[in-house]
Amino acid sequence: MLSHDQVWAAIDALAARHSLSASGLAKRAGLDSTAFNKSKRRSADGRPRWPSTESLAKIMQATGESLEEFLELVRDAGPSAGANGAVRRTGIPLLGFAQAGAGGYFDDAGFPVGQGWEMVEFPTPSPEGAYALEVQGDSMLPLYRDGDVLIVQPGAAVRRGDRVVVKTTSGEVMAKVLVRQTIQAVELLSLNPDHPNRHIPAAEVEWVARIVWASQ
């Protein structure tokens, strides 16, 4: 018998197989980008919501996967810990800050697009739409060092004091502490005292994404 958690885990696994977030998979299938969000998987009173057969058919068509291949993902889906207590891990896209600054890697909301990404393991369940950025250089010392991996979650609410990754329309990508975000500008505190704080006009900010985890 199929369980609610298994079916949704299979959708997440299908998205990861094609280097997509759940939101990216929905968009590729022509569905609303929020159709597979974790917040949509249960009703307000906690009852499970199931994906429609139409949406499942669309994601299989969009990815070229067969029903048998999707059911194999369903069978593989299970509890986050196996019989030996080991935590199951999923892969999320990984790229460097230099790549992040280039065009074509993200949509307007900061979600990764395309295929062929290098993947990094992350304990399940990974944050919705999350991806990883590898720190390059010393501009983020002493908090983040060269080679550290930052897990970034686009679409997550950001508040004053949050550590964030910001991409500008000129292609600059930086990790800072959010001081203030208004309709006029974004104010950022530098992690490294040797680098200046930033005040960026809102028109020059492509996206802001919250850092939810770092390997240190």
Fold observed for domain 96-215: Umud Fragment, subunit A (2.10.109)
Integer Cα distance of 34 and 181 in angstroms: 24
Is 80 exceeded by the pLDDT of residue 81?
no
Structure confidence by residue, pLDDT tens digits, 141-195: 777 888 888 888 877 788 899 989 888 888 888 888 999 999 999 999 988 888 8
Q: Does the model's pTM come out above 0.75?
A: no
What is the identity of the amino acid at 92? I
Q: What is the Cα–Cα distance from 49 to 21, expressed in whole angstroms?
A: 19
- Selection from 156, 155, 138 nearest residue 147 by Cα: 138
Spatial strand order of the sheet with 205-215 comes to 118-123, 89-96, 131-134, 149-153, 205-215, 163-168, 173-181, 185-190, 198-201
Q: Provide CATH code, domain 4-78.
A: 1.10.260.40
CA atoms in the 13 A half-sphere facing the CB of 42? 7
Strands 149-153 and 163-168: unpaired
**What local confidence, expressed as pLDDT, does residue 156 receive?**
77
pLDDT, one tens digit per residue, over 107-145 is: 555 555 554 456 666 555 556 667 888 887 777 777 788
Nearest 5°: phi and psi at 92? -125, 155
Domain range annotation of the chain: 4-78, 96-215
pLDDT tens for each residue of 20-72: 888 888 899 999 888 888 878 887 777 888 999 899 999 999 999 888 888 88
- Whether the CB-CB separation of 68 and 75 falls below 8 Å is answered with no
Structure tokens at 110: 């900061």
Distance, in Å, from the CA atom of 66 to the CA atom of 69, rounded to the nearest integer, reads 5
Burial classification of residue 22, based on how many CB atoms lie within 10 Å of its CB (0-12 exposed, 13-18 middle, 19 or more buried): buried
- For residue 85, what pLDDT is reported? 38
Residue 173 near residue 209 (C-beta atoms within 8 A) = no
Q: Write down the pLDDT at residue 84.
A: 41
